[in-house]
């Protein structure tokens, strides 16, 4: 793993608005090869308004996301995963695996 690959985690305190209604989904995520990839995907997800928490596992290729469905949609989550790889070296994709 090179120094250029290190990703600092984004810390987020969910707002009262985000916490009003919570839904949890599992996303199947492709393209992750290491823990830094998982951190990139997580950072992109938690930066999205409406997302309260995201747990991303690169070995399983899964992301569990808690979010407010009145502020973000599953399509927004999938788009955030794709945007996480917009540096020209990483390309990620996601699809909805399950709703809880």
Residue 95, Cβ density class (10 Å: 0-12 exposed, 13-18 middle, ≥19 buried): exposed
Distance CA(28)–CA(25), nearest Å, equals: 10
Task: Break the chain into its structural domains and give their ranges.
Answer: 15-99
Walking along the chain (100 residues) 10 residues at a time, the average pLDDT comes out as: 70 94 97 94 97 97 98 98 88 93
State the DSSP code for 47: T
The model carries a pTM of 0.91
pLDDT at 6: 78
pLDDT at 4: 61
In this structure, which CATH number among 3.30.565.10, 3.40.47.10, 3.30.70.100, 3.40.50.880 belongs to the domain 15-99? 3.30.70.100
Distance CA(7)–CA(37), nearest Å, equals: 8
């Amino acid at each position: 793993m090179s120094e250029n690959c290190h990703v600092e985690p984004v810390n987020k305190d969910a707002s009262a608005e985000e916490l009003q209604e919570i839904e949890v989904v599992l996303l199947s995520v492709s393209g992750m090869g290491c823990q830094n990839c998982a951190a990139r995907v997580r950072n992109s997800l938690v930066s999205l308004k409406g997302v309260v928490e995201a747990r991303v596992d690169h070995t399983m290729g899964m992301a569990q996301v808690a979010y407010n469905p009145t502020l973000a949609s599953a399509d927004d989550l999938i788009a955030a995963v794709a945007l996480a790889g917009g540096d020209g070296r990483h390309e990620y994709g996601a699809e909805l695996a399950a709703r809880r």
